Amino acid sequence: MALPMNNTPTYTLVLPSTGKEVKYRPFLIKEEKTLLLAHQSEDPKVMIESLKGVIKSCLKDDTDVEKFATFDIEYVFTQIRAKSVGEIAELMIKCDTCTDEKAVAKVDIDLTKIEVKKSPEHTNKIELFADVGVIMKYPTIDIIKKLENIDNANLDEAFDIIIECIDAVYDTEQVYHAREQSKEELLQFLNNLSSEQFSKVQKFFETMPKMSHAVDYKCPVCGKEHHKVLEGLNSFF
């Protein structure tokens, strides 16, 4: 006879990048084990794959996690974690002024209050010259990790990543979808931009939405009060 199984509750959240509603459940012990083992491995690739795997398991919708923007992954996991372990996360934040080892403040963060912040000047539709522009798509967490590992001297790899994030090129008459163009054609398009035009493409990456939360805390040693903005998943866990 089969044993009775736990019925997990279902919750709803809104994806920051698209505004789409998705349903999810808390992660279970088997998934928590996966995360702990990945953390112990100290291998970023293992951590990313485990994170995506847990999110895939917990989402109730037919949603392609592989295509999630980085900030979608971070936000979705934070909300899943809030319903799985607890809505309050306890952080230990070191004083920026003191060198004393005891200069660490305990700060409680309500994970349900964390938001993805978007800069007013951010846009994924970028006009470059004479009614010609590009429509960008947000990099996935895999692409972001590639960016972090790129040496400043390796421009070819950096351009490859930018090309991966081009969704389309447009003019007044037509939209040229990137998937229908060769890598060489897209690279030639980028290489023919001026520095000023290319900086507009760079700005897309620099102003991308970020998961962030501001905290105020007081150093237990020097008594100095701090205001700190936490950004990205690593800041919260």
pLDDT tens-digit readout, 111-141:
999 999 988 999 999 999 989 999 999 999 8
**Residue owning tokens 């592989």:** 66
On the question of pLDDT at 154 being above 60, the answer is yes
Q: pLDDT digit string (tens) for 41-50?
A: 888 888 889 9
pLDDT grade, residue 153 (50/70/90)? very low
Secondary structure letter of residue 87 according to DSSP: S
Mind listing the pLDDT tens digit for each residue in 175-233?
999 999 999 999 999 999 999 999 999 999 999 999 999 999 999 999 999 999 988 87
Q: What is the C-alpha to C-alpha distance for residues 147 and 164, in angstroms, rounded to an integer?
A: 12
Longest dimension (CA), the chain: 72
pTM: 0.86
Confidence bin at 22 (pLDDT 50/70/90): very high
**What is the CATH topology of the domain spanning 1-86?**
rbstp2171 (3.30.2220)
Taking Cα atoms as reference points, which of 58, 86, 87, 88 lies closest to residue 73? Answer: 58
Question: Is pLDDT at 155 greater than 80 in this prediction?
Answer: no
Q: Where are the domains of the chain?
A: 1-86, 89-115+212-237, 125-206
The CB density around residue 220, as the number of other CB atoms within 10 Å, is 14
CB contact set of 109 (below 8 Å; sequence gap of 6+): 88, 89, 90, 91, 213, 215, 230, 236
Q: Residues near 31 by Cβ (< 8 Å), separated by ≥ 6? A: 53, 54, 57, 58
Q: What are the φ and ψ backbone dihedral angles of 205, each rounded to 5 degrees?
A: -75, -40
Q: Please say whether the dihedral angle defined by the alpha carbons of residues 48, 62, 211 and 146, taken in this order, is positive or negative.
A: positive
Give 165's pLDDT tier (boundaries 50, 70, 90).
Answer: very high
Q: What is the pLDDT of residue 166?
A: 97
pLDDT above 70 covers a percentage of the chain that reads 96
